[in-house]
Structure formats: structure tokens, C-alpha cells
Structure 1
Amino acid sequence: MKKIKADVIVVGAGGAGLRAALSVKETNKDLNVKVITKGERLKDSITATSYSDRMAFHATLDTTEPGTEDSWKYHADDIFKIGGMVSDKILAEVLAKNSKDAFEYLDKLGVPFVKENGKVKQFRTDGSQYARACFTGPDTAVQIAQILSKEADKQKIEVIENVMFQDILLDEENKVKGAWGINTITNEYFFFETPSIILACGGPGQVYSESLYPKEATGDCHAAALRCGAELVNMEFIQIGLSSKKTKIACSGSFMRSLPKITNNLGEDVILKYYKNKYDPKKLISILFSKGWSWPLSYDEESHIIDVAVAKEILDGRKIFLDYTFNPEFFSKGSIPEEIINWYKQEINVNLFDQKFYSNPLKRLKSINKEVCELLKTKGLDIDTEKKIEIFPAIQHFQGGIKINERAETNIKGLYACGEAAGGQHGANRPGGNSLLDTQVFGKIAGQNAALYSSQVNISELSDEEMKNLQIENAKFSDETGKKNIIREEIRTLMSENASVIRSEKKLLETFDVISNISNKEILNSSKNLKDYLETCNIRLLSRVLLKSMCERKESRGPHLLFKNPETLELYPRDDENWAYRYIVVKLENDNISCSIRKCR
């Protein structure tokens, strides 16, 4: 058993966690701040392991359109409107107003953002009104994580690796006094005496069997927050994007603008298979091309029909590929819209009717973004040889999380959250690049306020009896090497099948009942060690929260597609009259999950 004392404990060593720890030191250099992370730093966070064709950091700078003193207000408006009007507008304003400061901090540290003639290069993403997306390349997030990690070392901030955070301990006044967790290698207990905890552990991606998340992302922070009385918000909104099965790289942007054939393992054109009677060829080409900038699943973008077709095929047991050998079957010179022809001419200086480009999606891809082809190769996929990319709908970002206010405070005194772990700042959708921005803006704010709070309170001591009782409550295991946790895999598979792209009330309720009826004893018997047991309990809790939230929202909005009939693909429509300006808040009461519908601020 180890006992660690600190003024502030930060849980998570990704972009948000490292920024929060640095902010604590910037606010009060005399405070003792420690970062705990579940695996190895720069290997266990979504920031440090994420790639896409051109990863964005969304910011309103002095040079950003429209170039006025209040340009940030347009940014805030985009966050709220693109979010489907179901987020906290005050938090959207905080994000936008502080985006310049967040960018300049990273730029000063040495993140190599692309610039032209000394001016930061920016582009438009995901329906944003103006070009605000800054980037370094396909590895923008990775570069940010690496730079922040170096700065943390420079500031002598201790990062404790291989520690799983499990529960928050409160005093008699319901304020934070500490926490406990375990060493993930030895199962040794760790106890933390601290008045301030910042939860920055990302999203619970491993609740699903199909995601882009590192294996450590089992929702531990969310589960701990719920168990101590904190609230979660907007948990039904999960960004889902078509991604490479082999490399886990998001297939956005250029992957779709190059207009490949989307085919199953039988050679069928799956877009044509499902929609030939609904759309003419010109419209299908337009939808496929638009998938490049409206990449994540969203009811509000017509390109969601591609996600639905892919998900249906996979549920029916077939594999799906982006095939760069052939054009789509609905592709012809007469079916290509004028705006796409002009885009190729103006953006990449390519005549789409030149035979070498017209007949070859791979040449089109390389003309748009040859760097992403090199990235694929470094990840083990040589597109020149394989010609195809197997894709799947991957869980990629949780729009909701632990509910915070503009000071990154939760409803528990001394408990803060930031980055993807936090909720309220995003709605159903978000502008591309706002997730990276979020890590830096609210990471800084969480660090500042945790530091100010800890500077005014004393650290409560955890008694030996209290620590001993917590250890007795939890089962002892001998590590059973090779044992497979069947319960855990069953939950994750059910979530990917019934709570991803295609959701129906019937399936959501059935899945909720099945998972709710799994007992702790069954989890205990299935688990191979203490870490496995605790993670599975957290996965079970978070899966129930997600299912409950999805059932509660009786409409389609953003990535929440609720089907009246999955066979006919009939959806519940977006219902602004009953659901705009309202979000679903979740609490845990004696293992019962309660949902309340509240008006957004």
C-alpha cells in the first residue's frame, strides 16, 4: 500500500491533464501537484495517439475571419449552433474567447503549426462559418501531447504511471479529501490525500468493442464521479466516424473527397445498394464528396446515409472497404456536380476529366493529400499495394461528460473536470478541432481554480482504518494469465451492435436490461485480476448510463440517430420544439441511474 499527499491530483496525462498540471504551477508554484496516469505517458491518452488526414486545433486568432475585435463571438455561435443548441452557451463562449490564448501558449512552447509568410494557415471544418482550424499535419494532437509532456518535465511535475484511479473519497461536508486506486501491474493499493482532484482521463471509449481509444479508456473517471455524487450530461452524443480497421486512422477529408468506391467483401457498391431508388447519381456523388468535410456521423448532414449503410452491412456480417481501384458505380462524367469539378481545379489544380485522375481514385487521393498515404504506410498499410482500406464506424469522441461550469467545477466541492472527460461545453456535434481546443482552455481553467481552492484549505488525513476497510471491501485475485473476461466482452459487443450508429428504442431497452441483470458476482467470477474486475464494473456502469440517456432522447440529433424501424431505415426526426435548449443530466442513486431533462444555460 502506498499513500501519497498532494495539493492537487490530476488524473490523466493527455492534453487536458498535462495542461491542467502546468496551470496549477503557473497559478501557485509552491503547490505540490501530481499527475497519475493509467498506463505509460504518451501511450495511454487519446491526445497522444490520435491521427487523421489533417488534424485540427480550432482557434479564433487576430488574423482569423472576419477579423473584427469580436470575431470570437462568431466562433461561440458556431459551437452552439453546430452543437444542435443542446450545450451550455456560457461554456461555448469561454471556449471561443480563450482560443487565441490557448493557441499562443502552444505556439510559444514550440508546437509546429503550419504558417505561410509568418501567418498561421487556417481552414474551414465541419460547417464552421469561418476558417479557424490550425494544424501541424495528421499528427497535430500527438505533437501537442509531446510538447506539453516536455514542459511538464521542465517544470518538474511528477507523473506517476501505471496507476488506475477508482474512487473519490469525501469528508463529512461532502468535499473531496482524497481518492484511491491501484497499480495496474502489481495490484498494489494507492491512496491519495488531497483536497483537489482534476479529472482529465478522456472518454470511456472501451465501453465499446469498436473504437479508436487506447485500451486504458474504460471510463474510470466517469464512474468515480458518478459514485461520489457528480452529474454527467449529454452522454447520448458520441462522435462516430468511419475509420481504418488496421491503422485506427480516421478516414475523413481527403479519403472521401477522392471519391472511392465503398464496397463490401462481395464487391457490391453499398451506397448504391441502399440508396439507388432514393437518390440520383449526381446527388450520390455530392453526398460522398461532402463526407470529406462532414465526416463524423450526424443526423444534420445528409452524408449520414453512408454511415448507416456501412453499419447495416457490418451488422449483417460483411466487411466494408474504401476501394481506390474503382470509381463508384454511380460515377460518370455526367454525374459529377460542377462544384466538385471546380474544387479539384481550384484547390489541387487537377482536371478531374484527365483520364489518369478520372479513372483512378488512388491518384485523386495522392493529389489531394499524399502525406496521409505515407502516414498509412508507417502504420502498416501500403495503399499502393493493398488498394483498399477496410473501414468500420469507430467511437471517436464523447461530446458529453462530467458536468462542469465555467470554472471547470463539478457539483462536488474540490472536484474539477476538463477535456473530453468534462461535459456541457459541446452539444450534439462540435466544430472540427474544438476537442483539442477544449483540452487547453478548460485544462488551464481547471488548474487555475483547483490551485486557488487548494491554497485556501488544508489536506485531510486518511486514517489507517479507513484505508484498511477499503482494501477489505475489494476482492483479492491471483492474476490468471490467459483468462478471457467473457462478461466484459459481452457488454462491449452489445454496445457496438445496439448503441452505435443504429439505435432503436427496443434494442436499447433490451440491452439495458441484459447489462443491468449482470451481477457483481458474475463479473467477479469472470475477471482475471483486480484491475480487470474494477474496469468491468466501470464499463458496466457507463454502458447503462449511455443506454439510459439514448432511450431518454426521443428524437434524432447530431450523432444520436434513433430509428423507428431499423429495417426500413425510418428515423425519429429532429424535434426542436421539445428538445432544443435541453440536455439530459444523469446521476447515480444507490446503483439506480436517474435522468433529468434541464434547460441549457
Structure 2
Amino acid sequence: MITDVLIIGGGGAAARCAIECRNKNVIIAVKGLFGKSGCTVMAEGGYNAVLNPKDDFKKHYEDTIKGGAHINNPKLVEILVKNAPKELKNLEKFGSIFDRNKDGTIAQRPFGGQSFNRTCYSGDRTGHELMAGLMEYINKLEKVKVLEDVMAIKLIVMDGRCYGALFLNMITGNIFPIYAKSTVLATGGAGQLYPITSNPIQKVGDGFAMAYNEGVELIDMEMVQFHPTGMVGKGILVTEAVRGEGGILYNKNKERFMANYDKDRLELSTRDVVARAIYNEIQEGRGINGGVYLDVSHLDDKIIEERLGTMFKQFMSIGVDIRKEPMIVAPTAHHFMGGIKINEKCETNIKGLFACGEVTGGIHGANRLGGNALADTQVFGAIAGRSAGEFAEESEFDLKDIEDYVNKVIMDINNELENKKNNPSISYNVFELIEELRYIMWNYVSIVRNEEGLKKALLEIKNLRDKAENININGIIEIQKYFELKNMITVAEIIIKCALERRESRGAHYRSDYPETKDEWKGNLVVCNNNIKFIKIH
């Protein structure tokens, strides 16, 4: 199978990328179902864009840089804020519908860490509406083909150039190549590294691992965002829109505790601050049933039913009427600020390989503002599509030069899998090892970290890697999980090593042994080929 542009991923960034290069032959290869298995469709709160004459790009830029603890790539932030309004209009052209004010202007709500109400929304199902429009548009494009239930397991890279990727057919178990002039990674994050996460089951860090394995630079991988509010024990997101509409956080003593952590912004502080505040209240014994209260019962019933309709139904399903009683919430693993290092054209350091969306790093710095992620998918999805299309236009390659290499790789992978099938002498189970990894990450590499815990985590992950070499595999599902486990181990090790390296607290990265933010650490950690390099921002 050969194409001009191969896009790996099935969310908002992948979809926008495909639309931008629709005049080329495009294959979207999705691990699950297109438009239904990524994080975009699950996003509830909104899309940040400067639309109001009283708002301006400088404010959005400064809010994003400040929220990111001043280690964002300023060029990428400028591109984000300046192009977000244009891409919002494109979404409406594609078919997405946003809530409007009585005067016909697009409605905007307040979100944490922002100096202006610039979050556009469609109730509390914004991501779903966004994907509905994108998918409707893509269905009309003759040159864009979608392959579902195929898992990318390895990029095809020779002599510093990417020629596509190898895939596992999750129905038949076959491994096959898709050759491409341009390849775009839009695989999302890795929330499934943790047992409590808002992410769907596909988000295990495949893109990070595949890229890293081929020498792609990753940036700021220690920066993992924990959304402050998820349903306790489930991780299911409780959108920031709840706080944006006026939701109040209380501890078990009915104290509005955010006044102790950010007296000016309170519940609308940045996510890292709110998440640590909730974590601290629980740790110090002021939590309730493993969480804290989030209350909107003081709001008008109509506001809750119309603007927070998904949350209303979500809690009613467990017998909680949020019009009359508070929710109980706790932090949940949510978003990766770190990822593949890209330039303004979404190019990586590997020729012919591009990236967009959550799999990239540098845009959000040490902490992402709510509402910036959906804008990120559209702005940089469009740029990646344009860049990949242009590269495909200018590039040719001879299959004969790479087929022998690819066939050998496939044979080696099949031999590796065959050696692990039905081997009674091997006792390790892939599902058990994945759960073991998740709890290592939750216990030592989550909201609060320290050197002792990180070193212990690194040792336990290394032991897990040894166990992963001795897994008994039976069936296609276990083959998929085996590839996922290897990727999860790779990504976990990178996160831990970067977290050990950054000896300060900044944004989502909080070290209890280094609680201060230090100017000497104002910069980025770039990891490549098992080397970590610190690049200071002046």
C-alpha cells in the first residue's frame, strides 16, 4: 500500500491535517474508530480564540506563556493565538456549530488562567461537535481514505528519512507496511500510563515511542497534566466548564479552599495549581471519599441543564443530581504538554516526518490552559497537512530501495512474536504487567514527585522491561497489548528520567524535594537517543 500522505491518528489534529492536504492521496490510519477513539471527541469545555474587540492576541499570548511557566516555544504560541480564530471559522464551514449570544456572536465562557472570556463552546460537548463537522467534511473527500483498527508499530526510517510505517491489523493479526512520501504523527498523548485517566484506551504513547525509537527529538516529557476534576475512582472528566460557569470547590469542612492557594483566581486558577490544591486537601485529611466537593447547585437549573448538560446526565447516571447536591471530584491524568519537538512547519528532525496535536511538545510549556488544546489540533493540524502535502509534491522514492529492509523488519517481528506464543515456560501476563506499570507511575510519577520515588520508579520500570521480554502471548489482542506495553515502558522511562533531571518545580512538574521554581531551570529538556540535553531560555 502506497500513498502521498500517511496520517497516523484519528482525532481532531489528524482530521484537520487530512482536509488541508486533500488534493493529495491521503490515508488516515486509526488505531480505533476514526473520530471516535481519540481525545478530541471527548473534549467538553471549549476552544480558545480571540474574537471580542476588547480581547487581543497579546493577552492570549501572555496568558498561554504565563500558564506554561515561561518555557513554551514563543513562535509556536504566536502561531496558535493568531490562527485560532481563522480555524474556528473553518470549523463552522466544515459543519461544526458553536453556541451563540442573542446578538448572533459566538458565545465565550471564562476558563482557568485566562484574562478574558475567550473559550468558545458547544454546551459541554465541544469536542464532539468539532469532530462531527470534520468527519462530515472528510466523508465528501474522494482522495482521503480511512483505515480503522490498524495499530502503527514502527516508523519506516532509512538514512534519516521517513517512508511511512508498519501496522498491525487488529482484526487479522497481520503486519503490513503503508509507504508514504510524507508521514504525519497525530497519535495524541499517553494518559493510559496511569490507572486513573480521562483518556480513551488507545492513548498509551505509541507516537512518542515510535518517534523516539527512530531518533526523533522529544521535548519536556516530564510535563504531564493532571486535570483537577475527574469523577472519583473513574477518571471520567468533569469539564472545566463547570468551574467556568461558576462551580465552587469545597473540602469536607465546607471550606472554599482555593482561597488558600490562589486568592485572586480561586477555582479559575491554572490546572496545575488547582490539581495540587485538591491533592493537598485530600492528603491532609480534608477530602471526602477520595475527593473534594465541586458544587453548582447555586446556579439556575436552566444553566446547568443547557450549558452543562453532559455533566448533568453523567452524574444523574450514578444518582447524583448536580442541581441539588455537589459532585465529588479528584485529579485525573489528562494531557501531555511534552512530546515531539517540531518547528513552525510541524517538521521533526527526521526528513518526511511531521507531527501535530497532543503528540507534539513546546506549544503549552509546563502547563496547558484549558481551551488551548482544541485550538492546537486545528491550527497545527492545518499546518502539518500543508507541510506534508508540499513535501509529497516535491519528493519521490523508489520502493526497491526500502522493500528489502521492510521485509526483514517484518520477518524479525513475526519471529519475535512466534517465540512468545504458547510458551508454557513463560508465566508473565501482558495485562498484569500493564497494570503494574500504571500503578508505578501513579505512585511515584504523578502530581507530586521526589528523587527517592522517581529512582524507585525507574528501577521498577527496568525490572518490568525484563519481564516484558518473557511474556506468553495468545491471540491478536495480546499481540496488540504486547506492542503497547513496550511503548508504555519506553515512554515511562523517558518521563521519569526527565523528571529526575529537572530539579525544580514548574507548572505540572512538582518536586517536593525541590519546591521552588528556579530561573536556572527556565528552559527545555530535549531527549534523543538516550541523551537528555537542557536548553536554557534567555
Describe how 1:41-440 pairs up with structure 2 within 5 A. 41-51=34-44, 55-61=45-51, 63-66=52-55, 71-116=56-101, 117-156=103-142, 157-172=144-159, 174-241=160-227, 242-245=229-232, 246=234, 248-250=236-238, 252-254=240-242, 257-259=246-248, 261-263=250-252, 269=253, 284=259, 290-294=265-269, 296-298=271-273, 304-310=276-282, 319-323=289-293, 362-364=297-299, 366=301, 369-371=304-306, 374-376=309-311, 378-379=313-314, 380-384=317-321, 387=325, 389-440=327-378
Does the CA-based 8 Å contact 1:19-1:148 persist in structure 2?
yes
Distance in 2, Cα, partners of 1:361 & 1:150: 35
Aligned 8 A contact 2:73 2:363 in 1: yes
SS at match of 2:165: strand
Residues 118, 521 of structure 1: alpha-carbon distance in 2 compared, 3 angstrom cutoff = same
Matches of 2:308 and 2:68, distance apart in 1: 31
Percent identity at matched positions?
Answer: 27
Q: Is the 8 A contact 2:226 2:335 kept in 1?
A: yes
Question: How large is the Cα RMSD of the aligned pairs?
Answer: 2.9
Q: What letter corresponds to residue 248 of structure 1 in structure 2?
A: I
Rounded Cα–Cα distance in structure 2 between residues aligned with 1:523 and 1:366: 56
For residues 433 and 562 of structure 1, the distance between their equivalents in structure 2, rounded to whole angstroms, comes to 26
Partner of 1:594: 531
Deviations 1:554-597 (A, max 9, x none): 11111111102xxxxxx51111x2122x1111112xxxx32110
Separation in 1, partners of 2:239, 2:98: 22
Measure, in 2, the Cα distance between the counterparts of 1:547 and 1:176. 28
Aligned partner letter, 2:536: K
Superposition TM-score, scaled by structure 2 size:
0.88
Q: Deviations over 1:85-124 (max 9, x none)?
A: 1011111111112112111101222321122212122233
CA contact (8 A) 1:176 1:196 kept: yes
Counterparts of 1:34 and 1:559 in 2: how far apart (Å)?
35
Is the 1:486–1:526 Cα contact (8 Å) retained in structure 2? no
Distance 1:201 1:311 in 2: 34
* Residue number among 520, 523, 526 corresponding to 1:585 in the alignment: 526
The 1:289/1:154 distance shift into structure 2, 3 A limit, reads farther
In 2, Cα distance between the equivalents of 1:282 and 1:164? 44
Q: Identify the range of structure 1 (527-536 vs 31-40) with the bigger mean alpha-carbon deviation.
A: 527-536
Retained in 1: the 8 A contact 2:221–2:336?
A: yes
Cα distance in 1 between the residues matched to 2:184 and 2:78: 22
Partner of 2:38: helix, strand, or coil?
coil
**1:166–1:92 CA distance, 2 compared to 1 (3 A):** same
**Residue 33 of structure 1 corresponds to which residue in structure 2?**
26
Confirm or deny: 8 A CA contact 2:524 2:536 kept in the other structure.
yes
Equivalences, count: 518
Preserved contact between residue 304 and residue 312 of structure 2 (Cα < 8 Å)? no
| CA displacement 1:43-71 (0-9 Å, x = unmatched) | 210001233xxx1201123x3424xxxx3
Q: Aligned-pair distance for 1:361?
A: 6.2
Larger Rg: 1
**By how many angstroms is 1:478 displaced?**
5.3
Structure 2 distance, partners of 1:478, 1:43, is 32
Structure 2 counterpart of 1:225, one-letter code: A
Residue in structure 2 matched with residue 550 of structure 1 by the alignment: 499
- The counterpart of 1:488, out of the listed 412, 434, 449, is 434
In the alignment, which residue of structure 1 is the partner of 2:456?
Answer: 510
Give the 3-state SS of the residue equivalent to 1:551 in structure 2.
helix
Q: State the Cα deviation string for residues 326-372 of structure 1 (Å, max 9, x = none).
A: xxxxxxxxxxxxxxxxxxxxxxxxxxxxxxxxxx9634484763346
- Greater shift, 487-496 or 370-379, is seen at 370-379
Give, in whole Å, the separation in 2 of the partners of 1:460 and 1:479: 39
Query: One-letter code of the match for 2:119?
Result: A
Matched, 1:473 2:412: yes
Which ranges of structure 1 fall in alignment gaps of 5 or more residues? 264-268, 273-280, 325-359, 565-570
1:240-267 C-alpha deviation (Å, 9 max, x unpaired): 122114471225353594435434xxxx
Structure 2 residue aligned with 1:356: none
